[in-house]
Amino acid sequence: MGQHTSGTHHHGYVEDTPLNQAMPAHERLSRLDAVEILHTPDEVAQWLASTLRAAMGKSEEEVAFEDEWDQWVKYAHSGETITTGLLRGPTISAVAVPEAECRCASTPLVPVGGKKRSR
């Protein structure tokens, strides 16, 4: 599955807190800076797998996340938020963000005209 549903991408967040104490997705968007901006469902699955592996201290050979990978790609393609993690933390989330609500791309500066002041 190549792209997200139209007009959606994901922001990756890592909270140093257990799953049962993590922020809701809408709070992450407004209170935390994204660790990663993910543009395709495959990027979402890759980021979730590598981040979760790192938190576990495991290698790709030790933990492949084959079953989870397929589900993560499916959910990301559908534009859903995905949250996973370890019992005692961290909480790892790929939060679905509609392009219209995204604040990750900075707005280009527009030159402002004005008259020169004479002294």
pLDDT exceeds cutoff 60 at 70: yes
**68-83: average pLDDT:** 95
**Model confidence pTM above 0.85:** no
Compute the distance between CA of residue 119 and CA of residue 113 in angstroms, rounded to an integer.
19
Domain residue spans of the chain: 10-101
pLDDT in tens, 91-107: 999 999 987 777 765 43
Compute the distance between CA of residue 109 and CA of residue 43 in angstroms, rounded to an integer.
30
